[in-house]
Amino acid sequence: MGAFTSFGRKLMKLSQYFMPILRDDPKEAEIVSHRLMLRTGMIRQESAGIYSWLPMGLRVLKKIEQIVREEQDRAGALEVLMPTIQSADLWRKSGRYDDYGKEMLRITDRHERDMLFGPTNEEMITDIFRAGVQSYKDVPRNLYHIQWKFRDEIRPRFGVMRGREFLMKDAYSFDVSAEDGRHSYNKMFVSYLRTYARMGLKAIPMRAETGPIGGDMSHEFLILAETGESEVFFDRDFYDMDWSAFEIDYDDLETVSQTVTEYTSKYAASDEKHEPEEFEKRVPESRRLSGRGIEVGHIFFFGTKYSEPLGCVVQSADGKPVALHSGSYGIGVSRLAGAIIEASHDDDGIIWPESVAPFKVGLINLKAGDAETDAACANLYSGLCQKGIDVLYDDRDDRPGAKFARMDLIGLPWQVIIGPRGLKDGVAEVKERATGERQNVPLDNVVSLF
Ligand code: P5A
């Protein structure tokens, strides 16, 4: 800790920040996360389904991205970065150039070549892998990137939840056999449980349709929220499962596979895959639940669907050429920013889980311009800085009521409030946003709380 992050300073004075808060609710926002992201100046709409990320929104996006990256790396995946613009050639070979229809944004360059803004990267990664491997000894491998995608959705809505341009983590695994491929699939499955747990989310894995990606095995990960786009049916027992980021040895095939079995043996399905009779047969009535969910991830196993047409073939141990077996694994990184707010807010605003909060602490100076409160704040500000804590310092000359409301609205996990009354007793008031609990803490002890 203590290092300055690549996406901005650890400390920030509100008087020098860019956080264009809206006084009134934006009328175009139908759901709470969209409303709060616009109101707090996290994002700004540029066209339908296309957003700019402003300083505070970008900090959240980068934190989500970093958790996703760490968990992909931990599961053995290797980060790459493919371009957003792709040539149509590979898509013609896989047959998806025509299949993808109007959702694909097609572009012609100055040489009249057909290009496209990538909606996903199965073709490109398969071609990269084809060119870089020769034998069965070069697999298994899993390559991923975190890159902007474009899908010309018919109905972009709910802000970053269903955008046209959106940030996705997409990983692709390559194995010599379907059996090995299954283990790669299982590793990603488990890494998703850890990833969402670290963001304070319970994302229930559900059997899913494979749609334009293809294949015969697929799970989507859904978090429960009233505003979710999918209807979901599941066993109440899911509530009692372990939703912490439990430790796991990814090389231990048996444990990884058992974990997947554990999280898939109970009934959970979204509307497309829901089978009412099976639900009734497998789950006693008292445990049958239904609701709505937000899809924050989707994983697929499609075997040789892309490796065959694209010639992604290696020499097997007995010298025969074999087409590689693959899966692809997506996480909606920008969607998660909205999904986390859907899962964690109250009437006053956002409640950020610490792991993705734009700043950990909001320092409020109740009487900016007063020599004593200014000095006490400056002292805490530098103490927290030395400890490497992310702090947003509200040094603006506003009424206390406005400051409290704003700090609650933006939802930083901790507030440290400094006013003349507390200073007489040598204390700061420390408020936890999630519980609303307040305590008076001697000034000298504040930094050690964080
Ligand atoms: C898996 C990785 C794929 O595209 N190919 C590569 C596979 N899957 S997916 O289900 O279509 O998308 C993966 C995740 O991306 C998010 N997502 C979106 N987020 C915001 N706006 C959109 N329009 C959008 N479309 C997909 C979802 O979280 C999805 O699970």
- How does DSSP assign 289-323, residue by residue? EEEEEEEEEEEEEEETTTTTTTT-EEE-TTS-EEE
What's the whole-number mean pLDDT along residues 349-377? 97
pLDDT for res 8:
53
Inform me whether the pLDDT recorded for 250 exceeds 90: yes
pLDDT for res 97:
96
Model confidence at 347, pLDDT cuts 50, 70, 90, reads very high
Q: What is the mean pLDDT of the chain?
A: 95
What's the whole-number mean pLDDT along residues 170-184? 97
| 161 Cα nearest atom in ligand 1 | 20
Mutate which of 148, 335, 340 for ligand 1 pocket (most atoms within 8 A of beta carbon): 335
Per-residue HEC secondary structure of 352-373 comes to CCHHHCCCCEEEEECCCCCHHH
Determine if ligand 1 sits within 6 Å of the CB of residue 298.
yes
pLDDT for res 1:
40
pTM: 0.96
| 151 Cα nearest atom in ligand 1 | 23
Determine if ligand 1 sits within 6 Å of the CB of residue 215.
no
Instruction: Write the residue with the smallest CA distance to atom 16 of ligand 1.
Output: 332
Model confidence at 6, pLDDT cuts 50, 70, 90, reads very low
Q: Which two tokens stand for residue 286?
A: 């008292």
Closest by CA position to 271, among listed 342, 206, 340, 201:
206
Is the omega angle on the peptide bond into residue 140 within 30 degrees of 0, that is, cis?
Answer: yes
Phi, psi dihedrals of residue 412, rounded to the nearest 5°: -65, 145
CA–centroid distance, residue 196 to ligand 1 (Å)? 15
pLDDT for res 211:
83
**C-alpha dihedral, 287 to 289 to 293 to 297, nearest 10°:** 30
Residue 199: in which H helix or E strand, if any? Answer: none
Q: Which two tokens stand for residue 408?
A: 């609650």
CA–centroid distance, residue 163 to ligand 1 (Å)? 10
Inform me whether the pLDDT recorded for 303 exceeds 80: yes
Determine if ligand 1 sits within 6 Å of the CB of residue 329.
yes
Which residue carries 């650890």 as its tokens?
10
pLDDT for res 175:
98
Inform me whether the pLDDT recorded for 246 exceeds 70: yes
pLDDT for res 212:
84
Determine if ligand 1 sits within 6 Å of the CB of residue 293.
no
Determine if ligand 1 sits within 6 Å of the CB of residue 337.
no
Inform me whether the pLDDT recorded for 185 exceeds 70: yes
Pairing of strands 165-175, 141-150: antiparallel
Q: Which residue has the higher pLDDT, 324 or 216?
A: 324
Distance CA 327, CA 260 (A): 16
pLDDT for res 216:
79
